[in-house]
Structure 1
Amino acid sequence: MIYGVGNMLGAGIYGLVGKAAGELGNMVWLGFFASMIAAGLTGLSYASLGSRYPRAAGAAYITHRAFGITAISYVVGLAVTMSGLTSLAAASQVFANYAHAIFTGVPIKWVVVVFILTLTVINYVGMRESAWVNAICTAIEAGGLLLVIAVGARYWGSVDYFDASSIKNPGGDFSVSLMLSGAVLTFYAFIGFEDLLNISEEVRNPRRNFPLALLAALGIAATIYMAVCITAVSVVPHAQLAAASGPLVEVVRIAAPWVPPMLFTVVAMFAVTNTALLNHIMGSRLVYGMARQGLLPALLGRLHPRRNTPHVAILLLLIIVLGLALVGDIKALASATSLLLLGSFTLVNLALVVLKRRPGEPRGGFEVPLAVPLGGAGVAVAFIVNRVIDGVRSGELAPVYIAGGIVAAIAVLYLLLRPQAAAVAEVEHPKQVGETE
């Protein structure tokens, strides 16, 4: 459960409250609520799948088992992996915005570059993940959010929470399309729960404990998010919140002027750094492992002779993430991350429908009715379609281009490499550094 909460808390909520307020105004809470519904439905499907197949392979294994089409599984698996890189690029933008409050004279783009280079050096030198470190980081991240709620709770009820007027929607007219557009952005804050499926086989009694842990993690994160966004628009006018480089710092500055702004800025930067570093480490190890299995060019499977770290994979990540971070802004990168995962979630939900109806498939300790995966797939498709339509109308097509370009590149890579089906089924859980073949 701590792993799941820690995966979700971080750059998403710290960086997107202001951007979402620019879309939905005081109704920013509704975007998070809609995202919670979408994440909850898919979370229930993941919980059911985790209890049926406690195997560390994730979406690629599930879609391969359901459809048996290697190309689909390859695209899904690598899309999930690439979403970690777009998420890392978005996190670097969030970090730079908060850091700008301290280093006011330094251009944000330079902060982004230095931040990504620093993460690359840390990853290159070598750093092992620890359950204790993850627990401490989660506590600090959650502590910062709980501080926001605590100092701003007395402002609750001071504004109209059904006022949808915003920078994007000055007339204040509410529509389902507006809600879905905001929800695609805020969905980024819930990303991370799906990673629990990749460690489900490490859980004791996974048929019972995995669903409980996943749903509890979603519930805790959703409760914190809703409270934070209601607090934020209660304390800071939505237009001011949308314009703030560090939205939650602005909330604390107004609600609790006795709290040193520098202190909360550092907490926010720490939370974002933790998210970004975990994405960087996991991404490089996944690329290394996939290269070792023939899923990516063999050059990426090399280890540094002294550091024993996948230095070529780390260098590739540096190039990709720098490119993404310097081309896209927070909104575009966060939305692109959401689109990549929403597409994967659609196929995972449909895979559960197929597997539930197929005779001979094992039953799990946590079964859901067909309406759950069908609803999860339907909501995910609605989010994607609405974001594309909204992008065409508003001209904000950067997220669609980023996500579409990544999927197209993965498809081309598949045609060039023609990987084996057995290796594709393991695309999200390749052999890690130090494991034997």
Structure 2
Amino acid sequence: MANTPILTDVVDDLGRPALHRTIGPFQMTLYGLGSMLGSGVYGLIGQAAGQVGNAVWLAFLVALVAALLTALTYASLGSRYPRAGGAAYIAERAYRSPLVGFVVGLAVACSALTSVATQSRVFAANLATFTGSGEGAITLLALGFLLLLMGLVLRGIRESMWVNVLCTCIEAGGLLLVVAVGISYWGSVDLLETPPPGEGGASDVIILVVLQGAVLTFFAFLGFEDSLNVAEECRDPQSTIPIGLIGAMAIAAVIYMAVAITAVSVMPWRELAAAPGPLTAVMDKAAPWLPPIVYTAITLFAVANTALVNYVTASRLAYGMAHQGLLPAWLGRVHATRRTPHLAILALFAVVAPLAVIGTIGQLAAATVLLLLTVFALLNGALVVLKNREGEPRGRFEIPLVLPILGSLVCAGLVIVRVVTGDWRAPAIAGALLAGIFLLYALLRPKAERQVA
């Protein structure tokens, strides 16, 4: 009877319907990859070139090292505590504070929800251009897109993951297409050329220039954290999460650096920085025979994929926090047939739809990046605490103590750089969001009584 299914794949330890375990290493890798590739590289490459010049590939490499420190922490934590809403659970467990778990969970949820709302507007705007619809149709298209997205996530994790696989392959294919049409230009420029001292605030020390660019390109790797929230839907999560997370990071890094080298080889970095759609401009020059509509279609898949991953992430966070007692218990209910947290999915639609209609959430999205970096610093610290605490389980993927310490310092440093060098509005909104989270905790606190297992 070796093939008998495990009971906990059907019900949890209280006899309630459990989430469906269908995700393997291949799907997990593409899940993380799809979230990262859709996090802004299509437009980010131009901004990075303006800061770093032809050395933009080196900025991606430095950013990879910085992001990998936290990714390894997430892989280790996922191996130790494979639970939905993992960030909130781990923070509460490590710091023995429901408040910290609540703040961490809702900070991640804020970033996911604003991303879904933003991507719905981007998708609608691109689709309106694609179909020739007027400006007034964008709001209706955005709401229609959100309804389709909600229906897919309600349908089941298996269906959502296969749509993610399709979109990720198309998304990655779009970036590889840039490399394929521009690889003949490789070797034609000095890949260490940086802006002259003083131009755009550039330093005369190449290392400082690259570090400044790395702060920007770091955000292209955001998305790896989404993997932790589908832990209860993984087969053998203790192995699947580390394999998928690190595999996604490695593939993304190779693609990013190849695209960066191609972009600055095809176009002078100043022109690339000035282009409203940098990769589209690269394609226009390197492959003028390719109809522009092709890259518009690829963009639609990329945007849809990012929204899908973030919707799944937010719903699993709500589900996990409900089971911790940090959110109302009804958000943790699972549909008996579809095995999805259907009430959490429906509740999130009620939050995302108004945000998508408002459409003026650019600063809100920037502020949630600060919240995410704060979360990363806290979770790196959480692994340090848990590794030094007696009686904590060990995972199949363990890392040296120095790595989460470095990860926490790097993320805290990036927060400081963003606050000191950027405008005041994003930190102000981040502070307002935190104040709102604290207020919500005060209202729900009687329901947040739970002994961490």
Could you tell me the TM-score, scaled by structure 2's length?
A: 0.79
- Residue in 1 aligned with 2:65? 37
Query: Among residues 43, 49, 52, which one is paired with 1:15 in the alignment?
Result: 43
Query: 1:380 & 1:6 partners in 2: Cα distance?
Result: 23
Equivalent residues in 2 for 1:10-409 (5 A)? 10-92=38-120, 95=123, 102=130, 113-123=139-149, 127=153, 128=155, 129=157, 130=159, 131-165=161-195, 169-170=199-200, 172-173=202-203, 179-280=210-311, 282-283=313-314, 295=326, 311=346, 313-323=348-358, 325-328=359-362, 332=363, 335-391=366-422, 396-409=423-436
Distance 1:26 1:87, change over 3 A: farther
CA displacement 1:184-240 (0-9 Å, x = unmatched) = 433332122112222334444444443222211110111111111221122123333
SS of corresponding position for 2:217? helix
Whether the aligned pair in 2 keeps the contact of 1:57 and 1:425 (CA below 8 Å) is: no
Deviation for aligned residue 1:354: 0.5
Query: 2:388 & 2:424 partners in 1: Cα distance?
Result: 38
Deviation for aligned residue 1:378: 0.7
CA displacement 1:237-279 (0-9 Å, x = unmatched) = 3333233332211111111111111111211222112212442
Whether the aligned pair in 1 keeps the contact of 2:52 and 2:59 (CA below 8 Å) is: yes
Whether the aligned pair in 2 keeps the contact of 1:66 and 1:355 (CA below 8 Å) is: yes
Where structure 2 has 5 or more consecutive residues not aligned to the other structure, the ranges are 1-28, 335-341
Whether the aligned pair in 2 keeps the contact of 1:92 and 1:112 (CA below 8 Å) is: no
Distance 1:154 1:22, change over 3 A: same
Distance 1:64 1:297, change over 3 A: closer
Query: 2:165 & 2:416 partners in 1: Cα distance?
Result: 37
CA displacement 1:2-37 (0-9 Å, x = unmatched) = 222222222422232223333333333233223211
- Residue in 2 aligned with 1:410? 437
Distance 1:315 1:205, change over 3 A: closer
Distance 1:32 1:403, change over 3 A: farther
- Residue in 2 aligned with 1:429? none
Query: 1:403 & 1:167 partners in 2: Cα distance?
Result: 33
CA displacement 1:386-406 (0-9 Å, x = unmatched) = 111111xxxx33332333322
Deviation for aligned residue 1:57: 3.0
Deviation for aligned residue 1:111: 7.4
Query: 2:88 & 2:304 partners in 1: Cα distance?
Result: 28
SS of corresponding position for 1:158? coil
Distance 1:91 1:313, change over 3 A: closer
Query: 2:190 & 2:443 partners in 1: Cα distance?
Result: 55
Whether the aligned pair in 2 keeps the contact of 1:8 and 1:221 (CA below 8 Å) is: yes
CA-atom RMSD in angstroms: 3.5
Whether the aligned pair in 2 keeps the contact of 1:89 and 1:333 (CA below 8 Å) is: no
- Residue in 1 aligned with 2:14? none
SS of corresponding position for 1:164? coil
SS of corresponding position for 1:245? coil
Where structure 1 has 5 or more consecutive residues not aligned to the other structure, the ranges are 427-437
Deviation for aligned residue 1:298: 9.3
Residue type of the alignment partner of 1:63: A
CA displacement 1:145-169 (0-9 Å, x = unmatched) = 1101111112223333333329994
Deviation for aligned residue 1:282: 4.7
Could you tell me the TM-score, scaled by structure 1's length?
A: 0.82
CA displacement 1:288-336 (0-9 Å, x = unmatched) = 8867987558999999xxxx7755541321223444x4142xxx56643
Distance 1:35 1:291, change over 3 A: same
Deviation for aligned residue 1:51: 1.8
Whether the aligned pair in 1 keeps the contact of 2:105 and 2:321 (CA below 8 Å) is: no
Identical-pair percentage: 50
